[in-house]
């Protein structure tokens, strides 16, 4: 593996990491909606599920041939100087797989909502928990 980059580019994208914490403190002003146990449990789920989602995206792009540097098997994945272009990928993505991708994203939201419903009982706390879990999942 070449050089692992810790910070995203452009630099301001890294500020998105502050969203879960800002949300927590904003909702905490109105009273403690979520306890630390709830936050930790849904954070673990969100981060693990975010990793699974990222792996699925890599597999889909590799299967369709839209992964730069992909030459055969995933074990042969090489870094390429060819940059990834989202607009190019979407135009080349088969419509049938694009439909599956939309349903996958919808299923992801259902799963995030489900874990919030199972973890938190009050409606206002559910909103806070959903923002927390969605932000961490998206960052992962």
d(CA 20, CA 129): 10
Predicted confidence at residue 31, as pLDDT, reads 67
Task: Report yes or no: 111 and 117 within 8 Å, Cβ to Cβ.
Answer: no
Predicted confidence at residue 104, as pLDDT, reads 86
Within 8 A by CB and 6+ apart from 98, the residues are 90
- Residue 3 is given by DSSP the state P
Q: How many CB atoms lie within 10 A of CB 42?
A: 23
8 CB-side CA count, 13 A: 8
Divide the 140 residues of the chain into consecutive groups of 10 and give the mean pLDDT of each group: 66 77 71 79 92 84 70 54 57 77 89 92 84 87
Q: Provide the token pair at 64.
A: 């369709």
Predicted confidence at residue 81, as pLDDT, reads 46
Predicted confidence at residue 1, as pLDDT, reads 47
Predicted confidence at residue 131, as pLDDT, reads 86
Predicted confidence at residue 125, as pLDDT, reads 83
């Amino acid at each position: 593996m070449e050089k692992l980059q810790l910070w995203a580019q452009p630099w301001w994208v890294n500020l998105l990491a502050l969203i879960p914490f800002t949300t927590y403190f904003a909702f905490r002003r109105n009273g403690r909606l979520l306890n630390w146990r709830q936050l930790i449990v849904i954070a673990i789920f969100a981060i693990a599920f975010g990793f699974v989602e990222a792996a699925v995206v890599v597999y889909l792009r590799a299967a369709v041939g839209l992964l730069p540097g992909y030459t055969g098997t995933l074990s042969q994945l090489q870094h390429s100087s060819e940059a990834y272009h989202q607009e190019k990928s979407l135009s080349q993505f088969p419509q049938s797989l694009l439909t599956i991708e939309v349903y996958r994203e919808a299923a992801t939201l259902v799963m995030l909502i489900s874990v919030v419903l199972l973890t938190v009982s009050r409606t206002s706390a559910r909103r806070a928990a959903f923002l927390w879990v969605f932000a961490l999942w998206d960052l992962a």
